[in-house]
Chain A
Amino acid sequence: MESQSTGGAATKVAAPPAPPSAQLVAANLTKHYGAVTAVDDVSFYCLPGEVHALVGENGAGKSTVAKMLAGAVSPTTGTITAGGVELNTGRIRDARLAGVSCAFQELALVQDWTVAENLALPDGSPLRGFSQRGATRAAEALLAELDLPHIDPRAQVRTLTLADRQLVEIARAIGAKPKLLILDEASSALAPPGVAWLFSRIRELTAVGTSVIYVSHRLKELAEIADRGTVLRDGRVAGEFSRGKWTENQLISMMAGREASRAFPPAPPLSVSERPAVLDVDNLIADGINGISLSIAPGEILGIGGLQGHGQAELLRALYGAIPATADQWSIDGHSVKHLTPERAVRLGAGYVPEDRKTEGLALEMGVGENLLAPWFRTAQLGGTPRLAREKPWMAGVLGSLSVRTRGPLEKSGALSGGNQQKLVFGRWLDRDRRLILLHDPTRGIDVRAKQELYTAIMGLSAAGVGVLWFSTEVEELVHVCHRVVVLYEGRVADELSGARLTAEAVVGAAVGSASQSKEQL
């Protein structure tokens, strides 16, 4: 396919000649996994003090490239040269010794450990000494230096929010004092202030000559931070771009190989329904939620906004019965609710797409089909192959309508790419007579095309009269796809926005508690 370049710097380049001063040169990288070619002849370079972006859809190969640079995967052919040292061993340790450090997309922290223990993990030989006190002191110093005072080095990583965990992961990568820092979707869980924090750290690093490889889906971020970039498509270089000389549509068409628009689909018009509200809850109280009242009409898409950690995750879990909660009055699709459990929530017509598809959403060792069917297995029902055969038409319909790229219901779900896994978690609720769908940031860290497909499917649900509760960290998404947005602050509803008041500025303003001038920075 031709790239649809319309002048400017966004042109397809075969192999850029790397200047001798380059901090990193990746030349003709190719990676085969069995018969599959994940990355095919990718070349680029990064100068000292430069931010080089890697852009592409999921499955385009940018994570594989990032892993090769970090030493987690060794290239089949091709060379990586960092600071004059050739790195092809596929050993993270070698890359680290050459001054390359990476904040991984799949967070590489030990959940049971404290922040300090995690920060101390990478360095040194096995026989070097270790002490809790020393590690805590070093962690305190590092977190203070990186302007992350709200993270307690003694806190267990498990107890942190996803955003804070990501900050710790980034802090660890920066703390290694790298000459080349790789940020693989490092901003995917961060709210806007977190992204701003990340950018000021990147600027500090580039000011002292550190190179940064920035892998991201968020085009707005690229406009701000990327000096140059390489667009990948289907494992190949689809084009390059440099600061100020590209438009979003150009990049998207390079990524997708077609003119795709980033436009959000409009929410379908709300029809007046005879049916009762799909969700009606008054003064909901749970751990982290201090009295929230909500009502969702059939077909309505209600957005939940706010900074991470202000009760959004807890709200969705409580409404699905996954954590204990009480309310003065609570009904799902007209049925009154007292003590909700997930099982009962499903019976009443609710569905839930949780925060982390890998740990909460899927049984990674099980097949695609069994994961789709997970909520629908009852104890005394048929399982195994006969069940899969019986459900085949439904599964084929779901996989087809969401364009899940899989070899079929028997493929291990862990083998799918992130976007396709997310489609599985979502797809299990399709065509199953749902009344209410709870979505926890379903488009986090998935590519443009998968996002569009999810949008279409969610709009379809809404048009069919399903109520949708949609928590998103992307403000634009909330503003464009929701009928109404409720912004949470410290476990309460800070503001409710709809119609002309529903703007990005209003959502962000309410999220930072503009009335109360929060001390919260990130």
Chain B
Amino acid sequence: MTTATAPSDRSGISRLWNTTGITRLRREGAVAPITAFLAFFLVYVIINPGLLTRFQLQTAGNLVVPLALAALGQLIIVLVGGIDISIGAIMSLANVVFATAMVSLPVPLAILAGIAAGLACGLFNGYLVAYLRLPAIAVTLASAFIIGSISREVMDRPGGGITPEFYLATSGELLPYLPISIFWLAIIATGMWFVLQRTALGRHIYGVGSNIDSVAAAGLNAKRAQLAAFALSSVVVSLGAIMLAGSTITGDPRSGDSYLLSSIAAVALAGASFTGGRGSIIGTILAACTLGLVGSLLFFAGINSYWQYVISALIVISVVGIPVIWKRLYLALRKAHA
């Protein structure tokens, strides 16, 4: 009958902790990755104060933004209870299609071509998963091979017609100390937040992942929501591919490969539920920033970069594990107190 009420002490911290926004972040599992990012950022700046120079900020931005966009794409698929193994391949395809189109087409059309290529992949995956009810992991694994081959067919070695102007537009500086890549990321993430949190479609996407039967029983089109999630994801990933092409000034048929596992790691670090229905956009972005900067932190700390993966793994395990352990401790303490 009684639902959990606020704790008895009405201190400022407790009130802040229970405001609607924080409660939602907590429920989406975003508190841990946000805290982890702040701690990581602090350590990074202590080891390498040079991060806060214009050049290094710009480099760091260019490094993390494609990863953040890939992770956001992965997040949407994870939200509907799937996983996208083809995310790296989609990224490569959008990347090479865009770079090739830049040779002959005006920039807006080239961007549209890149997005269209990614969207086609997303719709293909989404149709097989939502309407034919095939498991997402099998579908996307298969399509990863297909898409990978197509990318190499489009462009078999790095190249393409990306101009220095485009580099400046995607990877330069908007204002001093504000890399333009971060600006674009913010725009895309806000758009995605709007779709997921401020439209009914977003609710449907979260709902399909939480409990597909409930959504169907409420009289909604669960299949369409799943398809929409795959489509939305592929668009976000394609935008990441275009950002990547801009910052490297080339198209490369293998440019997306390394983003598959990093995107899954970032989503895990963000506290999203891999059975679907729970995951935070801000948490995912900050998780991607953390993982994306581990490599350069080690470089500045003078540690062999092979340790990058071990450090990333430790970060993921501790960020996912500490809240669990903390909760147990808290409960045990409270019981001992009572």
A-to-B contact residues, CB < 8 Å: 71-72, 91-93, 95-96, 104, 106, 108-113, 117, 120-133, 136, 150-152, 154-156, 159-161, 163-164, 172, 307-310, 324, 520, 522
Contact = CB atoms under 8 A, between A and B. Distances in A.
B133 interface: no
A480 B225 CA distance: 51
A96 B217 CA distance: 11
Contacts of A121: 203, 207, 214-215, 218, 220
B214 A95 contact: no
Contact of B219 (A95, A129, A154, A309): A95
A203 B1 CA distance: 24
B254 interface: no
A287 B265 CA distance: 36
A92 B2 CA distance: 33
A110 B211 contact: yes
B20 A132 contact: yes
B180 to A, nearest CB: 30
A468 to B, nearest CB: 26
B3 A111 contact: no
B218 A126 contact: no
A150 to B, nearest CB: 6
Given A95-B219, A126-B224, A130-B200, A112 B3 contact: no
A130 B20 contact: no
A307 B217 contact: no
Interface string B197-239: 1111111101100110111111111001100100000000000
B218 to A, nearest CB: 4
B198 A93 contact: no
A157 B88 CA distance: 37
A454 B6 CA distance: 42
A164 B3 CA distance: 10
B216 to A, nearest CB: 7
Contact of B225 (A91, A122, A126, A150): A126
A164 B217 contact: no
Interface string B173-210: 00000000000000000000000011111111011001
B214 A129 contact: no
Nearest to B335: A324
Contacts, number: 104
B213 A132 contact: no
- Main secondary structure on chain B at its contact with chain A? helix
A130 B207 contact: no
A129 B221 CA distance: 17
Contacts of B206: 113
B157 interface: no
Nearest to B228: A126
A326 to B, nearest CB: 9
Contact of A129 (B23, B199, B218, B220): B199
A129 B203 CA distance: 10
B3 A160 contact: yes
A4 B79 CA distance: 56
A125 B200 CA distance: 7
Nearest to B273: A112
B66 interface: no
A3 B204 CA distance: 48
B122 to A, nearest CB: 17
10 contacts: A92-B218, A93-B220, A93-B221, A95-B219, A112-B278, A121-B218, A129-B198, A131-B198, A132-B197, A150-B1
Given A95-B219, A112-B277, A309-B2, 14 more contacts: A72-B216, A92-B216, A92-B218, A104-B217, A108-B214, A111-B211, A120-B203, A121-B214, A126-B201, A126-B221, A132-B20, A132-B197, A159-B3, A522-B1
Nearest to A161: B1
Given A130-B198, A522-B1, A110 B219 contact: no
B1 A92 contact: no
A417 B277 CA distance: 29
A111 B27 CA distance: 12
A160 B201 CA distance: 26
A126 B3 contact: no
Chain B interface bracket (under 10, 10 to 19, 20 to 34, 35 or more): 35 or more
B197 to A, nearest CB: 7
Contacts of B23: 154
A130 B201 CA distance: 9
Interface string B1-33: 111100000000000000010011001000000
B219 A130 contact: no
A361 B201 CA distance: 34
A336 to B, nearest CB: 21
Nearest to A191: B1
Contacts of B218: 92, 108, 121-122, 172
Closest 6 CB pairs of A and B: A108-B217, A92-B219, A126-B201, A155-B3, A309-B1, A122-B218
A520 B1 contact: yes
Contact of A110 (B202, B224, B228, B277): B277
Nearest to B196: A130
A72 B199 contact: no
A109 B214 contact: yes
Contact of B1 (A71, A111, A308): A308
Nearest to A67: B217
B203 A117 contact: yes
Identify which of B2, B27, B204 gathers the most chain A CB atoms within 10 Å of its CB.
Answer: B2
A123 B204 CA distance: 11
A124 B4 CA distance: 31
A121 B202 CA distance: 11
Identify which of A110, A117, A127 gathers the most chain B CB atoms within 10 Å of its CB.
Answer: A110
B2 A71 contact: no
Contacts of B213: 106, 108
Contacts of B24: 132
B235 to A, nearest CB: 16
Contacts of A522: 1
Contacts of A136: 20
B1 A122 contact: no
Contact of A113 (B199, B210, B216): B210
A125 B228 CA distance: 13
A320 to B, nearest CB: 19
B225 A96 contact: no
Contacts of B217: 72, 92, 104, 108
Interface string B30-66: 0000000000000000000000000000000000000
Contacts of A307: 1
Contacts of B220: 93, 121-122
Identify which of B200, B210, B216 gathers the most chain A CB atoms within 10 Å of its CB.
Answer: B200
